[in-house]
Chain A
Amino acid sequence: MFVFTIRRILQTIPVLFGVSILVFLMMHLVPGDPAQVIAGEAASPQTIEQIRERLGLNDPLPMQYLNFIMNALQGDLGTSIRSGQPVSEEVFSRFWVTMELAFYSMILSAFIGLIAGIISAVRHYTIIDVVVMIIALFGLSMPNFWLGLMLMQFFSINLEILPVSGWGTPEQIILPVIALGTAGAAIIARMTRSSMLEVIGQDYIRTARAKGVKERFVIYKHALKNAMIPVVTVIGLEFGTLLTGAVLTETVFSINGLGRFVVESIRARDFPAVQGSVLVIALVFILVNLIVDLSYRFLNKRIDLN
């Protein structure tokens, strides 16, 4: 387990390296002169030269990368062109909003998804299973931004019981979390169901029944604990999806989080801001995947028959 942990951590290093290169190159892959692009069509040569100087675009590319990565390691993600503020400050002031949104959505997804999945599996071959799975399929097929708009229209505009936008108060949290969490709930429900069905068919479940264990405990004590192992992985991976789904949800509900910041920076062609926030989101995602992988391995240790 220790060796595996170390190996798995070492494995992320080339990925981190690749990600940083890709993020760095983002600005340079733009057709034409990045300084020109940032400054806009009408900019004077002096302005362009200024930008070039400020972003260090006159240095050779490897040098620029080295600077980029050294600065990033020290928490310096450059300066936002739009606001003139350090990108790291811009990013971290919004970071926790997005993390909160993703986290609450994950809780909701996991809660609804697990319950629905278990019910579906236990009621296999019945109409309940069919109905739950059809709802899940709908949840999976709905764009979260559209769901957000519809929820907003119904609860905020028609019923006027929840606020239209913003983040912070409990009322403000409800709609974005539902909008963002629905697809995840559907995925987790489907995964839980198939995992439960597989486990329920296992020999040790038959053993539990033959021992005289009550059906309720067969499901919740013997089956669920085993079925949870792959589900935990899915829940963990869902966090990454939620992190980016926030891009759309934050836009819909005008939440001042990292996702909306990315979109606005892209629109403004504020490259340092885009690079900085994309880098941070990717890092969180890699970290979450690492944790999920390790915990799966840990949970699965006892299952590994050979």
Chain B
Amino acid sequence: MIHMRNVRKVYDTGVVALDGVNVDIKKGEFVFVVGASGAGKSTFIKMLFREELPTSGELLVNGHDVVNMERSEVPYLRRGLGVIFQDYRLLPDKTVFENVAFAMQVIEAPRRTMQRSVNAVLEVVGLRDKYRSFPSQLSGGEQQRVAIARAIVNSPAIVIADEPTGNLDPETSWDIMDIFHRINQAGTTIVMATHDKHIVDTMQRRVIAIEGGHIVRDEARGVYGYEA
């Protein structure tokens, strides 16, 4: 699903964000990416949906050669991915339903399936009854659930989440993790960058730890390993 060989990323400023990174993630895995701020975690995540391009090395995501692809192919890479951010990134002037449907609209999905698909994913995240609300009327946890619904509405093979619980209290965070767990159970690969020691230690999933641009640990059933 995801294949990295000797990936190196140097920013224009000369900062080496990642160096000599080798990772293979298989279909259906649930992977935590941990590390301190500035360790290269964000760069790692951003390269997966080609927000950043590796300076050198090999990177395959969901069958796409990210390094050598044409610009015009990037949208098709992203259609196979669902991306979730710490700050939700919902459109304030659209309702919950419209925010989720938007993801289908812009890839010109057929209208017939839109209603059904949006309702289905809102069911998954437990917001079926709030479909007419606007983001400002929702709690942080609810907003993140809308963002998750939007990320999965086009049935991506991989869900990529960058600190999805970073702005949420512990209890709400667990609701979000429960949704991720269910999505993963249905066969979707999940890659999640996080700072949350408690979540990582409790979930007991694969952990990739990044420090100073290198992978320092990659364990199948790992723990956070730092004092948060």
Query: Do chains A and B interact in one complex?
Result: no
A interface residues with partner B (beta carbon < 8 Å):
none
Binding site for A on B (CB under 8 A): none
